[in-house]
Each structure stands twice: as C-alpha cells, then as structure tokens.
C-alpha cells in the first residue's frame, strides 16, 4: 500500500497562503510560528545562513508545503515556474548548504538521483520506479529483522532503506 502523495500545484507558491494547517502541525519544527516566510527566515538564521532573496524563495518552496522529496532539478523547475530568478547551480549550492545545516536530508536512489527530504527524522522510503517518486514509509519503527555484523571499531550510524516499488503487470 502506498500513501497518498502530495501533489500541490507548484505554479504559484509565492502567492499561496493556503498552507494546510494540518500539514504544518504535522511538521517537525514545533517552535515555528506557522508563517512560512517568517519560519524560513528563522531557519536560515539559526543555521548561520544569510537569508538572501534566493535562499528565502527556495526555502519557501521547500518548506512551505509540509514534507517533500525534491531533486535539485525539481526545485529548479518549481523556482522557474514561480519566477524566482535562480540558476541550477545556486539551487544545488543552497540544497547542500541546507543539508549541511541539518535542515534537509539527502536520500540517494540508483547512485545517480539524489532527493532532498524536508523530513530529517529517521524514516524509510518507498521509491516508485514508474514515476521516479520517493514516498515516506509511514512506520518509523520499521526494523530489519537481522542486522549484519558490523566491523570491529564501527557502529551503525543510520539505516536508510529504500523499498523499490513497481506497478504490477
């Protein structure tokens, strides 16, 4: 069973005041005020990043709609549609800065595709192969029944599981 995927219209996020309060309440930043613009500003400042117009706009697109999984290309496309003047290189840099600051988590699929996840808590993913979509697995307590032996001197930092799904033929 695959959870419903958020398909919010990405065309006018800068004018969008219809942020779903339930989605925000389910977010992972309890100290935030609920005003995305204010929150993004706070997040950037707290992470030591100057809230430039571009970072603010990208942060708005990323964090203003609840949990999301975006590649740099997807965010770049959204920014372009929202008339945010930004280059793909800037999108990459910003995503990496936000990841280094702990505000995003990277999830790699196929070793080539990197998704940036606004949900930085421990969770696993379904990858829908047919439409290249990453979806949270709702059970955060999912564990492998048998973990491999870890080499001497090491401990498991995190287990990232991507369960690949394809449509039944």
Query: C-beta of 115: minimal distance to Zn ion in Å?
Result: 8
Q: Measured from the CB atom, is 94 or 119 closer to Zn ion?
A: 119
User: Which has the closest alpha carbon to 58: 30, 33, 80?
Assistant: 80
User: Which has the closest alpha carbon to 59: 33, 81, 31, 37?
Assistant: 37
Query: C-beta of 99: minimal distance to Zn ion in Å?
Result: 13
Q: Which residues contact 163 (CB under 8 A, 6 or more apart)?
A: 124, 125, 126, 127, 137
Q: Measured from the CB atom, is 78 or 117 closer to Zn ion?
A: 117
Q: Measured from the CB atom, is 52 or 121 closer to Zn ion?
A: 121
Question: Is 117 one of the binding residues for Zn ion (CB under 5 A)?
Answer: yes
- Per CB under 5 A, the list member of 136, 137, 162, 165 interacting with Zn ion is 136
In angstroms, the Cα distances linking 121 to 75, 93, 129 are 21, 22, 24
Question: Is 118 one of the binding residues for Zn ion (CB under 5 A)?
Answer: no
Q: By CB under 5 A, name the binding residues for Zn ion.
A: 117, 119, 136
């Amino acid at each position: 069973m695959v959870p419903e995927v958020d398909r919010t219209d990405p065309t006018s996020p800068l004018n969008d005041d219809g942020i779903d309060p339930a989605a925000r309440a389910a977010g992972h930043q309890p100290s935030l005020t609920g005003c995305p613009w204010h929150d993004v500003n706070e997040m950037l400042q707290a992470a030591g990043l100057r809230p430039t117009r571009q970072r603010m706009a990208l942060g708005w697109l990323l964090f203003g709609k609840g949990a999301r999984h975006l590649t740099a290309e997807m965010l770049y496309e959204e920014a372009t549609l929202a008339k945010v003047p930004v280059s793909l290189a800037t999108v990459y840099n910003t995503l990496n800065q936000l990841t280094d600051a702990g505000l995003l988590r990277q999830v790699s699929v196929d070793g080539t595709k990197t998704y940036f996840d606004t949900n930085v808590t421990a969770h696993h993913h379904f990858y829908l192969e047919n439409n290249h979509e990453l979806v949270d697995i709702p059970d955060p307590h999912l564990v492998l029944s048998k973990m491999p032996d870890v080499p001497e001197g090491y401990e498991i930092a995190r287990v990232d599981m991507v369960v690949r799904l394809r449509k039944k033929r």
